Amino acid sequence: MAQHVLMKLSNGGCSCCDPPSAPGIAIDGSVGRGGRNLPNDVRTIQAALNNVSSADGGPTLKLAVDGFVGPLTIAAIEKYQTRKLGWADGRIDPDGPTIHALNGQSSGVAAPAKGGAAPTPPPKATAEQNAKFVERIGALLPRARHWISMAQLNIDMASDFVRRGPPGRSDPFPSLHDIGKSQLGLFDKYFHTGKHSNETKLQQLHKAKRIYDSMNTVITHSLLEAPMFGWGVGYFQPDPADGTLAALNYVAYTFYGGWQARRPDGRPRLSGDDNYKGRKDLREDTIFFPVGQLLTKTDNYMLETILHELAHFVGPGVKSPDRIGDHTYDTKADFLTVNNWTALHTAECYGYFAAESALRSTITIPIH
């Protein structure tokens, strides 16, 4: 289960599981080193780790499911993380990558749903539909640039407003003072920077702007290279798992920091380079779309999905705590209520802020 694979689910939520999981284990507080370690949560994790075979990252000796965190439980968490994520901090957070990994593992996508009905695979696109779809992405990219530009314009205006500070008595243009205020309000709606000092607000506005800058660079590359190599070269491709059970529920996926993922010899990194347990041959510098289930999606839906994936793609790599992830649950618009730090590290916030910036109307979730 590759935790650096980021999937956007069809209901508008997100998962960083591969394959996307059915509702699985959940904890209220973090478990492990420095965690809250609520006894029920600890038991949940101990039992979940015991379900993983030792060869697959589970504990060598089964843990006692006793609700107490000791060195054996922490060692088991670390072993699992090292095996599945390529790093270990000994702690499992309620919506962190480790619990997603455990859920991806404990509920195989091909397992029949409760009630016994076997799942049906999503529709599969024909070769012709794939080609048309990739052209459609190419045609959407200039509009994606427009969305990004409008997001950046709002960030610039909001930044100007913050820099201007409160109106002074000698302000020569008091009626112009509030220009940028509503743009800051929109930024706050998605990124929750409201209570911070002006200095912090400016830093956060700047950080978001840089993410959009990098998105623009990726789009520019694509637009410039398309006449030579055709749409979809490199960055946007049909998902090889299209039409199979493995493609149930997600609408796109990509890799943390995949944009700049290169092997030491300069060639693109492949999913196999990161101990990916599924397909080993997926280019990390690519955003994949299971075309069969996207044929009926609207342009706005596709644009938001493109920007969402680009946020993962241009952000830092999997090992950076600053990477842009999916800190949301699958079915709820949690990205509107998460805290400020989380929002700045959530792909959906970048997608929806740009959507509302460009469309200039309140956006329904998931977007249509």
| Positions in the binding site for Zn ion (CB under 5 A) | 6, 8, 14, 326, 347
The pairing of strands 5-9 and 236-238 is unpaired
The pairing of strands 250-255 and 91-92 is unpaired
Min dist CB 349 to Zn ion, Å, is 11
Min dist CB 241 to Zn ion, Å, is 17
Place of tokens 């243009």: 173
Chain centroid, CA 66 distance in Å: 34
Q: Are 48 and 26 in contact (CB under 8 A)?
A: no
Nearer to Zn ion, 184 or 241 (CB): 241
3-state SS class at 288 = strand
Nearer to Zn ion, 8 or 84 (CB): 8
Nearer to Zn ion, 67 or 316 (CB): 316
Nearer to Zn ion, 161 or 250 (CB): 250
Determine how many CB atoms are found less than 10 A away from the CB of residue 183.
20
Nearer to Zn ion, 16 or 141 (CB): 16
User: What is the full DSSP assignment across 64-113?
Assistant: P-SS---HHHHHHHHHHHHHHHS---SEE-TTSHHHHHHHHHHS-TTSPP
Nearer to Zn ion, 20 or 180 (CB): 20
Q: Which two tokens mark 32? A: 């492990």
Min dist CB 334 to Zn ion, Å, is 13
Min dist CB 252 to Zn ion, Å, is 8
Nearer to Zn ion, 231 or 335 (CB): 335
Min dist CB 9 to Zn ion, Å, is 8
Query: Sign of dihedral through CA atoms 321, 32, 111, 281?
Result: positive
Nearer to Zn ion, 77 or 218 (CB): 218
Min dist CB 61 to Zn ion, Å, is 36
Q: Which two tokens mark 110? A: 């091909």
3-state SS class at 331 = coil
Q: What are phi and psi of 3, to 5 degrees?
A: -80, -10
Min dist CB 287 to Zn ion, Å, is 10
3-state SS class at 177 = coil
Nearer to Zn ion, 58 or 315 (CB): 315
Length of the chain counted residue by residue? 368
Min dist CB 308 to Zn ion, Å, is 6
Q: What single-letter amino acid sits at 197? A: S
Min dist CB 347 to Zn ion, Å, is 4
Which residues in 254-290 are b (16+ Cβ under 10 Å) and which e?
bbbbbbebeeeeeeebbbeebebbeeeebbbbbbbbb
Burial of residue 320 (number of CB atoms within 10 Å: 0-12, 13-18, 19+): exposed
Helix (H) / strand (E) containing 8:
strand 5-9
Q: Are 102 and 48 in contact (CB under 8 A)?
A: yes
